Amino acid sequence: MAQDLADPGRAPTAGGAGAGESRIRLLPAEGRTPLNGRMPTPRALRWRSDRESEGEQRAVSVFFAPRAYVRVCAHAGSDLDNEVGGALVGRWRADSTTGRQYVVVEAAIRAQHTRHGSAFLTFTTESLVALHDEMERRYPTKELVGWYHTHPRMGVFLSGYDVWLHQHFFPEPWQVALVIEPYTRLGGFFIREVDGRLNPHRYVGFYELVPRGSSSLVYWQNLEPELKVEQVEGGMQS
């Protein structure tokens, strides 16, 4: 249940000397549009949650690269008693044929300078500055496509604090939230609907990018594959 030190009653600011000198942009940029790409569904294995319904319209689809999945799971499993979290890094694109938007999670950055316990995770101003500094240093051409955190022994959902943090610090329609329950091996994404609404209890699955000749890495017990792994053709997009 992630929290932030900022006052939930006002728009948060970050940085050292004031809003004008902040290194963190908290509000969506006007008129941003995704670059064109090709949705890599032929090279992906679709994992579906039991909370999904046919015909639901969401702002984006999520593709998860193996290295990023392993890194997130390793961090989640590093502490089964306290919440941990971080940022999801990758690409935001629109399919050049269908126009459907999607994000590809290619890397994960562990949040530093946090305060955490068994039922809370505080992203401090220092946490956010450090995340953006590492983004600029290691992934200057990538996007901050969302964030993740764990709910040890609590299940997969967004608390009121989680929703507040997501809306204020990850306000773009295409930015997503991933919640992992590491103790019983559960996980799921929370994605805004096309009208901007966010259901804190309806988590969805994702597309796992499976390199040619490789096996699936997903082990979350609450997700089911739509196809067998051997039916996935091609390799992972570079």
Task: Let me know: does 81 contact 118? Beta carbons within 8 Å.
Answer: yes
d(CA 86, CA 214): 27
- Is pLDDT at 38 greater than 70 in this prediction? yes
- Work out the end-to-end distance of the chain between its first and last CA atoms, rounded to an integer number of angstroms: 34
Task: Let me know: does 181 contact 138? Beta carbons within 8 Å.
Answer: no
Q: Which residues contact 212 (CB under 8 A, 6 or more apart)?
A: 234, 235, 236
Residue type, 146: G
Q: Which two tokens stand for residue 52?
A: 């999904």
- Is pLDDT at 10 greater than 50 in this prediction? no
CATH architecture, range 33-231: 3-Layer(aba) Sandwich (3.40)
- Is pLDDT at 45 greater than 80 in this prediction? yes
Q: What is the pLDDT of residue 235?
A: 42
- Is pLDDT at 68 greater than 80 in this prediction? yes
Q: How confident is the model at residue 23 (pLDDT cuts 50, 70, 90)?
A: very low
Region 92-98: mean pLDDT is: 97
CB atoms within 10 A of CB 18: 8
Q: How confident is the model at residue 236 (pLDDT cuts 50, 70, 90)?
A: very low
- Is pLDDT at 22 greater than 50 in this prediction? no
Region 29-52: mean pLDDT is: 89
Q: Using CB atoms within 10 A of its CB, is residue 52 exposed (0-12), middle (13-18) or buried (19+)?
A: middle
DSSP category for residue 58: B
Q: Where are the domains of the chain?
A: 33-231
Q: Which of 191, 171, 181 is nearest to 61 (CA)?
A: 191
- Is pLDDT at 4 greater than 70 in this prediction? no
The rounded mean pLDDT for the chain is 85
Q: Using CB atoms within 10 A of its CB, is residue 118 exposed (0-12), middle (13-18) or buried (19+)?
A: middle
pLDDT in tens, 124-165: 889 989 998 999 999 999 999 999 999 999 999 999 999 999
**Element housing 64 (H / E):** strand 61-64
pLDDT in tens, 150-206: 999 999 999 999 999 999 999 999 999 999 999 999 999 999 999 999 999 999 999
Q: What is the pLDDT of residue 194?
A: 93
